[in-house]
């Protein structure tokens, strides 16, 4: 018989141990099957084996995992995950609470609130009463390398190279490729296979304006402190937007955090992405980072189109259900023959937007695909012009207003730091001449 409630709190803290015991006693008094699970390095495996109807989670689970990692593990193992997740924690971060709810948590309660146990017990009662009528929660399955579409020779070689790096375990890997080529998706799939310990943080440097040193640590407000090199790994998109501060900091710390370089004992990693060849070369020289080149979506990947189209059709179906029209062979062939300067991201948005539009209008799907492709090409052209036609005078004024903070200015302009610096240098040379 399936266990109804499993409680996983960081019981090294007396308040949480008392809360877990109180919950267990109340549940047993109401004839609800329940248990408390000890946190260790096998916590994820143990919980998947129990597979309870309701899982009560703390955010920080010792030095081994987090509640968010556990939720993702359940979703990864079961596309139709029907476990209800309830968080009871002292983690005050609004970002963590939002991420928990996005992943499908039913409730996020503060253990410091004296009303929390009563609210939690009521929520458990409500969930169990609704259980026979509940529809399975749609939980997108996190991708592994085996889930990626790699039917073309070039994509298959890229996946093989990624698997080699996973086995080798270098501390820093840079994924290099054009905009929209799927670098971040590839990086997330690699993290799925790497033996990471603790938490994983994702910091997009094109949007980040804080102290980059703060990227390398995470204070949870409890006994556990996450730090790169120990129990924290980082996914860092757009490292071309780094003004050198992050690179310098990692260079200073690498011999302390990863004294052996690539090693089977590594369990803390930095996976970074960039569109800039020069940036990747710099990370390779200073950090001995391994470079993984992600291929563009062009004629060399023609074998991948049917698989990608099928993936994006399934994704669109989550929005419109049975109204999602199938993409016929004629349309698949037409999509394969087109040029995609925006790469996989452009193909994805074209297909999903077209299917959603067709579900409302009832027009021929092929015609809508053609229309949306044209619109996406116009957007790709505008993005290209914006990237390559920065006004040097405006750039200089904005840079001055930002006190010469290149990363902030580049983010506001929607370009990379290297593009910004090239514009500034070109303008300086012109003035000197």
pTM of the model: 0.62
Nearest by Cα to 171 from 264, 61, 109, 247 = 264
Cα four-point dihedral sign 427, 420, 282, 260: positive
d(Cα 402, Cα 208) in Å, to the nearest integer? Answer: 14
pLDDT one-digit tens code per residue, 224-272? 566 787 778 889 999 988 878 888 889 998 898 899 888 888 888 999 9
Cα–Cα distance, 6 to 47 (Å, whole number): 8
The predicted structure's pLDDT at residue 93: 77
CB–CB of 199/226 below 8 Å? yes
Non-local (6+) Cβ contacts of 183 within 8 A are 175, 176, 177, 237, 273, 274, 294
Please count the residues of the chain: 433
What is the rounded radius of gyration, in angstroms, for the C-alpha atoms of the chain? 24
pLDDT at 392: 82
Residue ranges of the chain whose pLDDT lies below 70:
1, 131-141, 197-198, 209, 218-226, 382-389, 407-408, 411-412, 414-418, 426-433
Q: pLDDT tens across 96-107, in order?
A: 888 888 888 888
Q: What is the pLDDT of residue 162?
A: 94
Residues in CB range of 120: below 8 A, 6 or more apart:
23, 56, 86, 88, 107, 109
Distance CA 59, CA 72 (A): 13
- Nearest-10 crossing angle of helices 245-257, 277-287: 30
pLDDT at 114: 87
Which pLDDT score, from 0 to 100, does residue 429 have?
Answer: 47
Q: What letters, b where the CB count within 10 A reaches 16 and e where it falls short, cover 341-373?
A: bbbbbbbbbbbbbbbbbbbeeeeebbebbbebb
Under a CB-based contact definition with an 8 Å cutoff, are residues 313 and 278 in contact?
no
Torsion angle of alpha carbons 368, 373, 378, 379, nearest 10°?
Answer: 100
178 neighbors 277 (Cβ within 8 angstroms): no
């Amino acid at each position: 018989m399936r266990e109804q409630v499993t409680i996983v709190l960081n019981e090294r803290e007396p308040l949480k141990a008392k809360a877990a015991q109180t919950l267990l006693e109340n549940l047993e008094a109401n004839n609800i099957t329940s248990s408390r699970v000890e946190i260790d390095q096998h916590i994820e495996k143990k919980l998947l084996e129990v597979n309870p109807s309701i899982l009560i989670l703390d955010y920080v689970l010792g030095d081994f995992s987090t509640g968010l990692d556990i939720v993702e593990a359940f979703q990864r193992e079961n596309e139709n995950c029907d476990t209800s997740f309830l968080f009871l924690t002292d983690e005050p971060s609004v970002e963590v609470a939002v991420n928990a709810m996005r992943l499908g948590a039913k409730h996020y309660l503060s253990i410091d609130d004296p009303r929390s146990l009563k609210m939690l017990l009521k929520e458990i009662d409500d969930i169990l009463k609704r259980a026979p009528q509940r529809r399975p929660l749609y939980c997108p399955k996190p991708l592994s390398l085996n889930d990626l579409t790699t039917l073309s020779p070039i994509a298959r070689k890229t996946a093989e190279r990624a698997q080699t790096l996973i086995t080798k375990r270098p501390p820093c890997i840079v994924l290099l490729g054009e905009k929209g080529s799927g670098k971040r998706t590839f990086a997330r799939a690699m993290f799925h296979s790497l033996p990471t310990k603790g938490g994983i943080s994702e910091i997009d440097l094109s949007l980040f304006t804080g102290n980059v040193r703060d990227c390398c640590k995470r204070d949870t407000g409890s006994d556990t402190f996450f730090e790169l090199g120990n129990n924290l790994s980082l996914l860092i998109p757009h490292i071309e937007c780094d003004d050198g501060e992050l690179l310098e900091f990692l260079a200073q710390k690498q011999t302390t955090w990863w004294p052996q370089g690539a090693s089977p004992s590594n369990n803390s990693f930095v996976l970074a992405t960039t569109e800039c060849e020069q940036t990747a070369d710099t990370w390779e020289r200073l950090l001995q980072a391994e470079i993984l080149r992600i291929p563009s979506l062009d004629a060399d990947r023609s074998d991948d189109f049917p698989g990608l189209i099928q993936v994006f059709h399934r994704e669109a179906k989550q929005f419109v259900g049975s109204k999602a029209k199938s993409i016929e062979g004629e349309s698949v062939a037409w999509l394969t023959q087109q040029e995609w300067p925006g790469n996989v991201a452009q193909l994805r948005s074209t297909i999903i937007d077209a299917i959603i539009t067709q579900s409302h209008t009832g027009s021929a799907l092929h015609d809508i695909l053609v229309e949306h492709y044209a619109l996406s090409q116009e957007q790709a052209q505008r993005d290209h012009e914006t990237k390559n036609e920065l006004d040097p005078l405006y750039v200089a004024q904005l840079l001055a207003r930002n006190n010469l903070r290149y990363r902030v200015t580049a983010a506001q302009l929607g370009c990379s730091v290297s593009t910004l610096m090239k514009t500034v240098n070109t303008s300086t040379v012109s003035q000197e001449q």
